[in-house]
Amino acid sequence: MSNRTRIDIVEKILDYIAREEKALKTHILYASNLNSSNLNKYLEWMVKLGLVERFEDNRNIAYAITPKGIELLEKLKNINDVLNSKRDLLSDELVFYRDVFKKTMGSQEFTVSYRSVIGKTGLTYIHLTVGYGGVEHLLVSLNEAVVSQYLIRNLAYSLLVSDDTGMPLLIVLRNKRIQDVVERLASSNSPERRVRIIVV
């Protein structure tokens, strides 16, 4: 259960409730594999957002999914589909990243994966991440030899995700000629932003 993200848990709860006309709280507890305290927090949050409705009959508490909840559930399933396809692409890049990190940061253990992250605004992003030294970083690799709209768009997206989530950003540059421009863009508007650039 420790490997599950908040996205996974929300999808699991909504999916179970959606399959029931009215899902009893005790049944949701077993289906979600959460303890009672954590489940209460999720359900209260979902009721507050209008994703589910709460019903109480004598001593039984039940929940039903709302149209807003169904819409979110479909989006979460689409996110997981994208993540699964990204994981296939990642296997081809994993050797490259491990080689880069060993050469630049020593013999630390690294975990590279695509996953969904939630920002302070409530927005959900799909981004490549790398975990090392006990800290998870956003990871972006820029391969271009010149500054292009594609490069700026990719870098801007990663900087936005970093600002919204508070996660540090690790930029791997495969061409030194764009280093100066990338450094200036990375430090603009947010001098406190945590960015590290590795040139390979």
**CATH at 99:** 3.40.1350
Same-domain status, 113 and 183:
yes
Same-domain status, 174 and 95:
yes
The tens-digit pLDDT sequence of the chain (200 residues) is 445 678 888 889 999 999 988 899 999 999 988 999 999 999 999 999 999 999 998 788 999 999 999 988 888 877 776 666 565 556 667 777 777 877 777 756 777 877 888 888 888 888 888 887 788 889 888 877 677 788 888 888 898 899 889 999 988 887 777 888 788 877 775 666 788 888 87
Examine residue 129 and state whether it is found in any structural domain, yes or no: yes
DSSP one-letter code for 48: H
Same-domain status, 113 and 189:
yes
Given a contact cutoff of 8 angstroms between Cβ atoms, the answer to whether 115 and 127 are in contact is yes
Residue type, 196: R
Kindly calculate the radius of gyration of the chain based on its CA atoms and give it in whole angstroms.
Answer: 21
Examine residue 73 and state whether it is found in any structural domain, yes or no: no
Examine residue 71 and state whether it is found in any structural domain, yes or no: no
- Beta strand residue intervals within 99-192, DSSP E: 111-118, 124-132, 135-142, 169-173
Examine residue 94 and state whether it is found in any structural domain, yes or no: yes
Counting every residue written for the chain, the total comes to 200
Residue type, 49: L
Task: Say which residues have a Cβ less than 8 Å from residue 23's Cβ, sequence separation at least 6.
Answer: 16, 17, 62, 63, 64
Same-domain status, 166 and 110:
yes
Same-domain status, 47 and 104:
no
Give the span between the Cα atoms of 26 and 171, in whole angstroms: 46
**CATH at 51:** 1.10.10.10
Same-domain status, 99 and 176:
yes
Task: Say which residues have a Cβ less than 8 Å from residue 84's Cβ, sequence separation at least 6.
Answer: none
